[in-house]
Amino acid sequence: MLDSGVYREEKLPTLGERLANIFDATNLHGEQKVVTVGKDPMGFAFTADGKAALVANHGDGSVSVIDLEKAQVVNTFRAGTGIETLAYC
């Protein structure tokens, strides 16, 4: 299992881009995988086992669940208008 992180690129000319990058946080120059998520992704959190990331999609009020091993969205659910941040306890 990689020590994975999720990073949303900040590109001012392309606000509204629906992308999240998955990468090994111990090797920032290594391979990155790009996953399409909901509109205007903002905050994220990892599950306790580190196998999935949840991304708050501010623009469409949803949360995308990303399987980090497969590098793909496995679920999306409604979370309310304007969701920005997540925390996992």
Asked whether residue 28 is assigned to any structural domain, the reply reads: yes
Asked whether residue 88 is assigned to any structural domain, the reply reads: no
**How would you write the pLDDT of the chain (89 residues) with one tens digit per residue?**
444 555 443 333 344 678 888 888 888 888 888 899 999 998 899 998 989 999 999 999 999 999 999 999 999 999 998 898 888 66
As for how many domains the chain has, the answer is 1
Asked whether residue 87 is assigned to any structural domain, the reply reads: no
Write down the pLDDT at residue 75: 98
Asked whether residue 30 is assigned to any structural domain, the reply reads: yes
Average pLDDT along the chain: 81
Alpha-helix runs per DSSP H in the chain: none
Asked whether residue 50 is assigned to any structural domain, the reply reads: yes
Spatial CA neighbour of 40 closest among 21, 22, 18, 62: 18
Query: What range defines the domain where residue 20 resides?
Result: 4-78
Write down the pLDDT at residue 89: 64
State the pTM of this model: 0.78
What whole-number distance in Å separates Cα of residue 85 and Cα of residue 89? 14
Residue 69 φ then ψ, to 5°: -70, -45
What whole-number distance in Å separates Cα of residue 16 and Cα of residue 39? 6
In the sheet where 72-78 sits, what is the strand order?
A: 41-46, 52-57, 62-67, 72-78
User: What token pair was written down for 30?
Assistant: 């290594």
Asked whether residue 89 is assigned to any structural domain, the reply reads: no
